[in-house]
Amino acid sequence: MSIFVPIIFMLLQLLQGCQSFGPAAKKTITLQSKLVVTKNFDCGFTRYIPDPKKMGDGGANEFQQPVIEVRNGATLSNCIIGAKEGFKAADGVHCEGSCTLKNVWHEKVGEDAVTFLGTNPNNVYIIEGGGAINANGKVVQFNGAGTAKINNFYMKDCTYGIASCGNCQAQFSRRIEVTNLKAENLKAGQFIVAVNSNFNDQAILRNIHILGNSAKQVFPCKIFNGVKGNGNFKLVKMGADGKHCKYNNNDIHFN
């Protein structure tokens, strides 16, 4: 047997173990103001880049503009959210009510990749597929009321995962369902999901894969006591408690 055969086999194994990030963009459009989606909008794998001078530079400053605003009942699909060189993608995607984000990829997460808004407790926010990379902060910020359902999502090189707002002016009971998620190289000591016990939040996690050198230092779920308005929310517990953070040991995989 040629010595090249085992070498090729080893290379194939290494490639299979790597998660590539997202589809290639077919074209790129720079936005001067947010793109508003009112019905169903298929981006066709267009990359949308915000003008950092007009929409925000993607830093830690609050209240930057979203790149795309998805109105109640609308669907955004096959989209890539990028940023100019040296900047990040302002405040990503906002859902103003029930929405579906299908196969949406965030290349340079700014303030947040996705923010869920709206005060109706019947709102349902769906993320199906897609992913986020290079987030200094949170990937998903849940400020509104209702239920978030996140399935087949991938996040890499991010600080935090999915958070129920800990200090919003208006607080709600929120439900977060996460299934078939891969999280790679999250910051050690941080979380996949964070909820507020005093607002009766619930997180349900199924088939979560945590990868990278920091994997075993990342918590699947953290429970806080949130506050209304600008105050300090407090950590209560880390891990499943059967009420606010629900998952079984076999739902969490460290790879």
Please write the tens of the pLDDT for every residue from 85-110: 888 888 899 999 999 999 999 999 98
Q: Note the pLDDT of residue 10.
A: 42
Give the torsion sign (CA, 205, 206, 211, 214).
Answer: positive
- The Cα–Cα gap between 248 and 204 comes to 10
State pTM to two decimals.
Answer: 0.90
What percent of the chain lies above the pLDDT cut of 70?
Answer: 91
Which tops the pLDDT comparison, 149 or 11? 149
Classify each residue of 145-182 as buried b or exposed e, where b means 16 or more C-beta atoms within 10 Å of its C-beta: bbbbbbeebbbbbbebbbbbbbebeebbebbbbbeebb
- In the chain, where are the structural domains located? 23-254
Q: Note the pLDDT of residue 191.
A: 98
Among 3-7, 47-51, 173-177, 227-231, which stretch is predicted with the lowest mean pLDDT? 3-7
Please write the tens of the pLDDT for every residue from 176-231: 999 999 999 999 999 999 999 999 999 999 999 999 999 999 999 999 999 999 88
Q: Beta partners for 148?
A: 125, 176
Instruction: Say if residue 3's pLDDT is above 50.
Output: no
pLDDT band at 53 (very low <50, low <70, confident <90, very high): confident
- The Cα–Cα gap between 184 and 22 comes to 14
Looking at 9-165, which runs of residues are DSSP E strands? 27-31, 35-37, 40-50, 68-70, 74-81, 93-95, 99-106, 112-116, 124-128, 131-135, 138-142, 146-151, 154-158, 162-164
Q: Is 67 helix (H, G, I), strand (E, B) or coil?
A: coil
Please write the tens of the pLDDT for every residue from 111-155: 899 999 999 999 999 999 999 999 998 999 999 999 999 999 999
Which tops the pLDDT comparison, 254 or 13? 254
Q: Note the pLDDT of residue 21.
A: 82
Residue given tokens 């109105």 in the structure block: 71
Q: Which CATH number fits domain 23-254: 2.60.40.10, 2.30.30.40, 1.10.150.120, 2.160.20.10?
A: 2.160.20.10
